Amino acid sequence: MPTIKITKRAVEALAAQEKLIIFWDQDLSGFGVKVTPAGGKTYIVQYRMGGRGSATRRYTIGPDGTWTATLARAEAERLLRMAASGVDPQAAAKEREHAERELAFGPYSERFLADYGKRNWRQRTYTSAESNMRRWVIPFLSRKALPAITKRDLIELLDRVPATNPALPRNLFALLRKLFNWATERGDLERSPMDTMKPPAPVGARDRVLKDEELVVVAACAEAVGDVFGAMIRLLIVTGQRREEVAGMTWGELDRRLMEWSIPAARAKNGVPSTVPLSDIARGELDGLAGSTRWPRAGYVLTTNGKTSISGFSKVKLRLDKIIGRVLKREIDPWRFHDLRRTFATNMQRLGVRFEVTEALLNHSSGARSGVAGVYQRHVWKEEKKEAIRLWNDRLRTMIFEWESSER
């Protein structure tokens, strides 16, 4: 067996032979370079798992060019130490390949969503988690296997979230922590890389309430972002309900005769069904979407393709703010769609509506509807809610009239 001192220069000088030949290193027993008749050169290591009588095994380190002689020597030393300690490099490589194939983050995260998320989360929670996973997490971690993901990787992922979405890092942190805990519980991972990570600080409570002029301008300018999105924004204003609940509204939940919208438990954020009275303004919006005073019996109310409910709210919000800026001749103070709900609640107070009625309209499980009161207080405030919505409908019409008069 020919031997040489395996160095960069020595390997470059090796010429192709009539048949495959291995040149072994003079200093490191088991380290060699294989030269094919075509001139290809590949670094290898040869070792035994046992005593001198056991069979020899060979492990391919990699081709010259991808590996330098110096790096290949260091890798051979590592592999020979593994073999000496009783760990077969070939078996370890197969386990690593299996992990990279079976525990690749992209497919694994899909299994987590299907096997854990769909079984344990409400639909709204699942939809949000799936969206965050596909938009923010999978594109960044998809090329890594689960065991190879480090704390540094996760910190970098969270650091990439734009400052315009302050609540997202905490949501992503909770989602990833659940995934890694699930992986450890199943035995797919020995330890979560998030064990020593602290969650991002919570976002401070918001108190933004739109002024009357701002609210009217938002409603007026909403028309310019499209019929469907415009209707959604005005329905947020007149009903006080959550964005996802309004966006996912179906015709089957609506009753034009009773002027009611029944939100099922599966779509309510708190898992509690709710009945929302509809005002004249809301009825007008829904008639416009239906194209008739006869509403369909099924399907999404707010849809652009007839198959799914609307999405892409952030883009719509950016467009809306630009339009509002042109109308006001200045930038509107920062606001979110959820602020319309807070504005609704604040105006309920201004109109003298009882706190319990406002809580019932908002479908809150806090305050007057929590604790002992929540157990024994079963009055649903049906008539009181209708009266509150009527007052709000009249107040909105007055606000619109006053704004239009000031613009003339």
Question: DSSP characters for 6-71?
Answer: --HHHHHHPPP-SS-EEEEESSSTTEEEEE-TT--EEEEEEEESSSTTSPEEEEEEEEBTTB-HHH
Token pair of 116 as six digits: 């854990």
How confident is the model over 265-285, as pLDDT tens digits? 989 988 899 999 999 999 999
User: Is residue 368 predicted with pLDDT exceeding 80?
Assistant: no
Burial class (CB in 10 A: 0-12, 13-18, 19+), 213: middle
Beta-bridge partners for 63: 42
- Decide: 321 and 331 in contact? Cβ < 8 Å: yes
Q: What is the pLDDT of residue 406?
A: 84
pLDDT of amino acid 372: 44
Across the range 58-76, mean pLDDT stands at 95
The chain-wide mean pLDDT, for the chain, equals 92
Arithmetic mean of pLDDT, 339-351? 97
Query: CA dihedral defined by 103, 109, 114, 116, rounded to 10 degrees?
Result: 90
Nearest CA among 317, 299, 318, 319 for reference residue 309: 299
pTM: 0.61
DSSP 201-218: PPPPPP-----HHHHHHH
Q: Which residue has the higher pLDDT, 376 or 363?
A: 363
Please give the torsion angle defined by the CA atoms of residues 149, 151, 155 and 156, in that order, rounded to the nearest 10 degrees: -40
Express each pLDDT in 95-105 by its tens digit: 777 767 788 99
Strands (E), 152-280: 254-255, 260-263, 274-277
Q: Give the position of tokens 């073999």.
A: 83
Q: Which two tokens stand for residue 141?
A: 């971690």
pLDDT in tens, 126-137: 988 999 999 999
Residue 376: which pLDDT band, with cuts at 50, 70 and 90? very low
Strands (E), 154-243: none
